[in-house]
Amino acid sequence: MAFTLEIGDKAPEFNLIATDGIRYKLNDFKSSKLLVVFFTCNHCPYVVGSDEDTRAIADKYIPHGVEFVGINSNSPNTYEEDDYDHMVTRMEENDFPWVYLHDETQDVAVSYGALRTPHFYLFNEKRELIYTGRAVDNPKDTSKVTVRDLERAIIEYLDGKTISTPVTNPIGCNVKWDGKDKHWMPEDACDLV
């Protein structure tokens, strides 16, 4: 079995606290046509570099029934700035158009098979995975982006088309696993394609 979710897999459940102090479950997003779950954090230069691009995608497609959920699974023991308090501050400063959830135990990262920050998962109405990987081909410097994989997948699905490229490799820092070296990745976590 692959480390990360495969196309057609159901979205794993979660019950996590957000920066607004409310706990959210997968079912809280049941009314959306599409659900984007992405693993992110506070410090990663690939996340910080692409935040505004992700915001633009969210702002464009939220009115079309697409919801966005960010999850921070990074251990604050690896990077202190990835702790919950810094998440709250980050949302206060940036007012992102998504809920920002804290996966303190890293169980949700394991259930999704999150590889990097950022790592995007796009689910249909039945919450079956239809796309996973990167949002863009240059998240660190979006002025150099030539391919918009996540947006392409959203457009294709909303237009009733088959997703032309359902799997790409996420580009970013690896998830920071508690008790492990900051560059460590699970043995069965490898490139997706």
Q: Report domain 9-174's class.
A: alpha beta
DSSP state at residue 42: S
Q: What angle do CA 162, 59, 82 make, to 5 degrees?
A: 100
Q: pLDDT digits over 49-101, tens only? A: 999 999 999 999 999 999 999 999 999 999 999 999 999 999 999 999 999 99
Query: Count of CB atoms within 10 A of residue 173's CB?
Result: 18
User: Domains of the chain: which residue ranges?
Assistant: 9-174
How sure is the predictor about 190, in pLDDT bands with cuts at 50, 70 and 90? low
Q: pLDDT digits over 149-161, tens only? A: 999 999 999 999 9
How sure is the predictor about 191, in pLDDT bands with cuts at 50, 70 and 90? low
Q: Is the pTM of this model over 0.85?
A: yes
